[in-house]
């Protein structure tokens, strides 16, 4: 009848008709929801009787429920509690069918949905906590801190006078004991550090052949420090200079070829060692995982994670579903969208902290002003204060009577007396109270607690602040209650079984369901009648299926996604409602942000390098001195024979120095710091009699300020201007800074331009190094923020994202960008700042320029990276030492003593990045192996001490981050071999050639002419044995890596169909015997990271809504 009444009304539009049908459906669902939840069908007469008549639809669109209507139907998005309350949509939208949300129209210009703050529909049940000031107690805070750290429980005999019930773990805790206490992710981290320390120590020893050959090459070739300086002298660059000169002289022997071949072979052996270590870690990781599983029993051994549930699913219906298909269920925990409540509860805790501080300030003001302290709890502080008051009163009375001698004037007491004098105005009293408090205040007290503002000592003003703060607390509590009244939509569920075998059977049934679905065929049906998705196929199958779930018998079934559960500590509740299907969009945003930051870094560093190249040119002074083959500076400008009194050549060279030129302009005459242009025709230009008339004309033109530059010695070229700057550079460099600074013989003015260039060069390079260093720190913090913005649903995924971004950022910033900036590739020279570095090949000059800087930065990072991870502990300890005596409440003290977390993501990120960019160039720069040994040794010591002494007990990390390392190593080895083809396959290094290739194709000099390979001619490099060996290594490693990845992918898909049985006892027995490791429930109130945000007694609206 009600339905007929509703349908007989005039409906202005189809949209309103659909809304009216939604209201009717809401009432129908309400009518039998209680029976349906219990798995029973409603009785035949459940829908009989008249429905309340619905009002006419207003122009606003949505109808209203009449008085007395209490309609709740979250399945259709309708929630009405009060009389005349309009129907409101849930945050997930109005549903066309149960469990299928429809997107709401965006109210934002940019298409971003704005969530309205929910409003209370009924009065709030809970009340805000009364802010009762709790004085700080260090023992309580330290006991709380120890509970958060990985401490051992003491036996009754070990408990001493201090009463401590825990003891620290030893820093040398063996790995076997670690496996019983920590997760496999933590244990495997220290195994990785141990094994890689041994591996890189071995790699350093194997690199001894290259170190020895470089030393011999430098001595035999006489390679000067101007040509190859600093750390570059211990690189393959020394071999290239030596080999080039030997080829030029025609002295290359088989012994020389054997020496370089031995270096190449030892390098290949090093990579084989790392490949073997990677394979060993792959299998050992599985073994460690098994050992940890055997030694520990965790709740996830009995649990599965369920996705695809409708938002109104209940624990009872989910439990009934899995008990029907699998067996006895111990607990069902529904994962709900509680993000907004978590934010509000965190804000509530901040407001409570402010209330604590105001309570402290109120008590302090009342004590200083001599007023009665309101609501002061009985305790030591109260009785101590009362005793002091009584003592001061008796002492003053005895002094007044003459029993005690008069004491010296106590200005503090006088000021305090003024504060307590009630006859004075409150402004005078509070000012005196502020002075008295400032005098008695401990040094370093900051914030409102350390304020000397008289208003902070006025009880009336403080009470007003407390009142205003309580209003905010009430509003925040209303918002929390409104969220609870609106309801928390179900996102997922964790089903914990009584028996481990039941959990295994559940996963097996899921796999069987998928296989059965694949075997179905609907080819005999018409095309339009065939099921279109898996859910429709399972319904058409007509059999009971574990992946088909119904919240109520008459509701459409939902397709479930069931998989093995992760540990409860791995769950990020605030991100549960974010869809995994849109994760690629968030990752794309992260990649865009990371790219932008790297481009900014590239622009700044590139600008600094470009500015450095805009300075005057320079060249190796040994090649342009007296008797120089191409440039003989004394033969053109004999600066050594000049002085302030007899300028001579100084005056002749000055016009050339005044011309604007730079490194780019002289690029054709100076290559990699070596003068290559022949200007021998200019020798004696200013001193030979044959050139007297030309020299006189040049001097006359130069002295005439009105005439323009004539072009110098060679009017059609700038080679003479470049030569003049090089000669000026070498002369001033030889005289030294002290002669310039003391203005010896006029050098202060003559060499000013040279020393200005030196200062600017240091500044530009300093800016580049500083920006690179700062950018590494920024990228490290940015990786954490990007992972946070991606909203992963588990801590493991968040840690994996942090490590991945850190690896990509550091490798690009440390290896690829510097390499591309140093390279000279004409086809790509149009890209700003890249591929214009002047090095078309990895020649000896490339090592002098690139490898010297790269090795320095790698060594710097190796020493600094471990200490950056130690920084949070250092800051935490300093804060405890400095602020412990200055906190004003127990809450502040608890926060101050909370230990920092032990994060594996940053450790793996830095470690893998350091390994990857070191291995890329280690073929020619073996010094990076030494840096890695130092880095790993420091990491072992620092991480062990941090874990067992200072950091909080880490979550139960899985081996995902270790798997990231294992999968990254073959890529690093392949990149190493690829770079080694270019490094070892160059012409400058003595090498044997492949059979059938002429010997001349391996020579750097042929018939007195320098030979070079085409930039992209890989065939010429692998035709030499030195280049062929790493090329074979590259092909082998790359091929095996691809095969291994495909195989592992297939194995992973097959493994998802089953679950290993570990033989765990029944879960209730494990819990009763206290053998369970980690958390005993998936509920948010059992998670130590979230339980402080929820009511302990479970009587508020949020606790009721979560049930």
What does the DSSP assignment read for 869-893? Answer: HHHHHHHHHHHHHHHGGG--SHHHH
| Percentage of the residues of the chain whose pLDDT score is greater than 70 | 82
Instruction: State residue 110's pLDDT score.
Output: 35
- Report for 473-482, 680-689, 884-893: range of highest mean pLDDT: 473-482
707 or 306: which carries more pLDDT confidence? Answer: 306
CB hemisphere CA count around 290 (13 angstroms): 9
| Percentage of the residues of the chain whose pLDDT score is greater than 90 | 30
Range in 251-260, 343-352, 524-533, 660-669 with the lowest mean pLDDT = 524-533
Cβ count near 307 (within 10 Å): 16
pLDDT of 380 strictly over 80: no
Instruction: State residue 1030's pLDDT score.
Output: 95
Q: How confident is the model at residue 1099 (pLDDT cuts 50, 70, 90)?
A: low
Instruction: State residue 933's pLDDT score.
Output: 95
List pLDDT tens digits, range 501-516: 999 999 999 988 888 8
Residues 747 and 679: beta-carbon distance below 8 Å: no
Phi/psi for 626 (5° steps) reads -60, 130
Nearest to 330 by CA among 1065, 1057, 1063: 1065
Phi/psi for 1007 (5° steps) reads 55, 40
Instruction: State residue 37's pLDDT score.
Output: 38
Q: How confident is the model at residue 957 (pLDDT cuts 50, 70, 90)?
A: confident
**Mean pLDDT score, 662-670:** 86
10 or 593: which carries more pLDDT confidence? Answer: 593
**Mean pLDDT score, 358-384:** 73
List pLDDT tens digits, range 850-860: 888 888 888 88
Range in 13-27, 34-48, 472-486 with the lowest mean pLDDT = 34-48
Q: How confident is the model at residue 154 (pLDDT cuts 50, 70, 90)?
A: low
Instruction: State residue 1028's pLDDT score.
Output: 94
- Report for 315-329, 346-360, 595-609, 889-903: range of highest mean pLDDT: 315-329
Instruction: State residue 1033's pLDDT score.
Output: 95
Q: How confident is the model at residue 53 (pLDDT cuts 50, 70, 90)?
A: very low
Which helix (H) or strand (E) segment holds residue 974: the answer is helix 960-984
List pLDDT tens digits, range 995-1005: 877 777 778 88
Instruction: State residue 903's pLDDT score.
Output: 87
**Mean pLDDT score, 7-15:** 38
978 or 84: which carries more pLDDT confidence? Answer: 978
Which residues lie across from 494 on neighbouring strands? Answer: 305, 333
List pLDDT tens digits, range 710-755: 788 888 888 999 999 999 999 999 999 999 999 988 899 999 999 9
Instruction: State residue 554's pLDDT score.
Output: 79
Distance CA 324, CA 771 (A): 63
Distance CA 310, CA 336 (A): 11
Instruction: State residue 607's pLDDT score.
Output: 85
pLDDT of 324 strictly over 80: yes
List pLDDT tens digits, range 1040-1076: 999 999 998 888 877 766 777 778 899 999 999 888 8
pLDDT of 794 strictly over 70: yes
Residues 535 and 545: beta-carbon distance below 8 Å: no
| Helix%, strand%, coil% for the chain, nearest 5 | 60, 5, 35
Distance CA 151, CA 936 (A): 26
Residues 448 and 357: beta-carbon distance below 8 Å: yes
Q: What is the DSSP letter of 765?
A: H
Q: Find where tokens 């997922």 sit.
A: 492
List pLDDT tens digits, range 914-928: 999 999 999 999 999
pLDDT of 182 strictly over 50: yes
Instruction: State residue 319's pLDDT score.
Output: 94
Helices marked H in 529-570 — which ranges?
A: 534-541
Distance CA 84, CA 82 (A): 6
pLDDT of 646 strictly over 70: yes
Q: How confident is the model at residue 619 (pLDDT cuts 50, 70, 90)?
A: confident
């Amino acid at each position: 009848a009600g339905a007929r009444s509703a349908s007989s009304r005039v409906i202005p539009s189809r949209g309103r008709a659909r809304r009216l049908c939604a209201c009717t459906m809401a009432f129908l669902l309400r009518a039998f929801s209680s029976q349906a939840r219990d798995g029973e069908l409603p009785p035949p007469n459940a829908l009989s009787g008249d429905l309340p008549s619905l009002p006419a639809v207003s122009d606003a669109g949505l109808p209203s429920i009449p008085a007395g209507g209490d309609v709740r139907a979250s399945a259709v998005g309708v929630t009405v509690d009060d009389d005349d309350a309009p129907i409101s949509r849930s945050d997930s939208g109005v549903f066309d069918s149960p469990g299928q949300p429809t997107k709401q129209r965006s109210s934002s210009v940019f298409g971003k949905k704005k969530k309205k703050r929910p409003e209370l529909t009924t009065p709030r049940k809970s009340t805000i906590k009364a802010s009762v000031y709790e004085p700080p107690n260090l023992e309580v805070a330290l006991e709380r801190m120890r509970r958060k750290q990985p401490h051992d429980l003491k036996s009754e005999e070990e408990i001493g006078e201090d009463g401590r019930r825990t003891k620290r773990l030893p820093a040398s805790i063996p790995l076997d004991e670690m496996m019983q206490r920590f997760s496999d992710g933590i244990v495997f981290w220290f195994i990785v550090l141990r094994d890689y320390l041994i591996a890189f120590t071995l790699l350093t020893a194997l690199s001894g052949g290259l170190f020895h050959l470089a030393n011999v090459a430098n001595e035999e070739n006489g390679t000067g420090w101007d040509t190859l300086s600093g750390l570059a002298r211990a690189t393959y660059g020394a071999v290239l200079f030596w080999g080039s000169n030997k080829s030029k002289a025609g002295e290359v022997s088989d012994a020389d070829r054997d020496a370089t071949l031995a270096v190449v072979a030892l390098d290949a052996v090093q990579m084989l060692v790392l490949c073997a270590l990677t394979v060993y870690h792959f299998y050992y990781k599985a073994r460690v995982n098994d050992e940890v599983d055997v030694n520990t029993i965790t709740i996830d051994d009995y649990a599965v994670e369920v996705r695809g549930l409708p938002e109104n699913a209940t624990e009872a219906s989910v439990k009934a579903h899995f008990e029907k298909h699998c067996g006895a269920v111990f607990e069902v925990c529904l994962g709900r969208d509680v993000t907004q409540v978590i934010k509000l509860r965190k804000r509530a805790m901040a407001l409570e902290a402010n209330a604590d501080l105001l309570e402290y300030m109120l008590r302090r003001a009342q004590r200083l002003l001599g007023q009665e302290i309101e609501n002061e709890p009985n305790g030591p502080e109260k009785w101590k204060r009362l005793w002091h008051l009584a003592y001061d009163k008796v002492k003053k009375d005895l002094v007044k009577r003459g029993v005690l001698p008069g004491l010296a004037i106590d200005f503090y007491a006088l000021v305090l007396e003024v504060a307590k004098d009630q006859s004075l105005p409150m402004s005078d009293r509070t000012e005196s109270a502020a002075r008295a408090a400032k005098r008695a205040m401990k040094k370093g007290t900051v914030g409102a607690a350390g304020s000397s503002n008289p208003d902070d000592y006025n009880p009336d003003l403080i009470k007003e602040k407390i009142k205003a703060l309580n209003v905010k607390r009430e509003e925040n509590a209303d918002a929390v209650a409104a969220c609870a009244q609106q309801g928390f939509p179900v996102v997922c569920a964790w089903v914990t079984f009584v028996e481990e075998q039941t959990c295994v059977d559940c996963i097996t049934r899921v796999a069987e369901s998928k296989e059965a679905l694949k075997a179905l065929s609907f080819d005999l049906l018409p095309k339009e009648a065939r099921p279109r998705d898996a859910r429709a196929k399972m319904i058409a199958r007509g059999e009971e299926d574990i992946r088909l779930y119904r919240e109520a018998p008459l509701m459409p079934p939902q397709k479930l996604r069931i998989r093995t559960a992760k540990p409860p500590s791995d769950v990020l509740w605030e991100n549960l409602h974010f869809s995994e299907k849109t994760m690629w969009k968030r990752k794309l945003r992260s990649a865009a942000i990371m790219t932008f930051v790297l481009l900014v870094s590239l622009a700044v560093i590139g600008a600094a390098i470009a500015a450095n190249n805009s300075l005057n040119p320079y060249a190796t002074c040994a090649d342009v001195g007296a008797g120089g083959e191409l440039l003989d500076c004394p033969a053109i400008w004999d600066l050594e024979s000049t002085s302030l009194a007899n300028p001579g050549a100084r005056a002749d060279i000055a016009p050339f120095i005044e011309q604007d030129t730079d490194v780019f302009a002289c690029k054709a005459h100076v290559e990699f710091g070596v003068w290559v242009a022949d200007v021998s025709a200019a020798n004696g230009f200013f001193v030979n009699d044959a050139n007297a008339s030309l020299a006189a004309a040049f001097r006359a033109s130069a002295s005439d300020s009105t005439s323009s530059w004539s072009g110098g010695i060679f009017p059609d070229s700038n080679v003479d201007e470049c030569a003049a700057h090089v000669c000026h550079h070498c002369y001033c460099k030889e005289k030294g800074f002290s002669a310039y600074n003391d203005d010896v013989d006029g050098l202060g003015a003559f060499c000013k331009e040279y020393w200005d260039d030196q200062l600017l060069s240091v500044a530009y390079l300093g800016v580049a190094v500083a920006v690179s260093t700062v950018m590494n720190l920024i990228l490290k913090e940015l990786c954490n923020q990007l992972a946070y913005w991606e909203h992963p649903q588990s801590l493991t995924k968040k840690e994996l994202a942090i490590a991945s971004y850190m690896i990509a950022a550091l490798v690009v910033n440390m290896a690829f960008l510097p390499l591309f900036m140093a390279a000279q590739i004409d086809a790509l020279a149009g890209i700003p700042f890249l591929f214009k570095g002047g090095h078309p090949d990895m020649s000896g000059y490339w090592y002098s320029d690139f490898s010297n800087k790269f090795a320095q930065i790698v060594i710097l990072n190796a020493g600094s990276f471990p200490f950056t991870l130690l920084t949070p502990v250092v800051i935490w300890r300093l804060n405890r030492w400095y602020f412990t005596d200055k906190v004003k409440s127990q809450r502040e003290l608890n926060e101050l003593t909370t230990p920092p977390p032990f994060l594996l993501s940053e450790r793996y990120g830095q470690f893998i990045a350091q390994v990857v960019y070191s291995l890329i160039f280690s073929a020619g720069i073996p010094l990076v192996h030494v840096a890695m040994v130092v880095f790993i040794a420091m990491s072992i010591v620092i991480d062990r001490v941090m874990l067992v002494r200072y950091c909080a007990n880490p979550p139960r990390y899985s081996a995902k981050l270790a798997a990231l390392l294992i999968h990254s190593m073959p890529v690093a080895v392949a990149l190493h071999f690829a770079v080694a083809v270019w490094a070892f396959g160059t012409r400058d290094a003595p090498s044997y050639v492949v059979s059938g290739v002429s010997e001349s194709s391996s020579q750097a000099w042929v018939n007195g002419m320098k030979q070079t390979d085409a930039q992209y001619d890989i065939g010429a490099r692998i035709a030499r044995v030195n280049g062929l060996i790493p090329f074979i290594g590259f092909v082998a490693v790359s091929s095996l890596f691809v095969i291994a990845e495909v195989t592992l992918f297939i194995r992973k898909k097959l493994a998802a169909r089953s679950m290993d049985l570990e033989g765990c006892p029944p879960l209730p027995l494990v819990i009763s015997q206290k053998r369970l490791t980690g958390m005993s429930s998936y509920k948010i109130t059992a998670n130590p990271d979230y339980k402080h945000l929820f009511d302990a007694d479970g009587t508020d609206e949020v606790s009721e809504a979560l049930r």
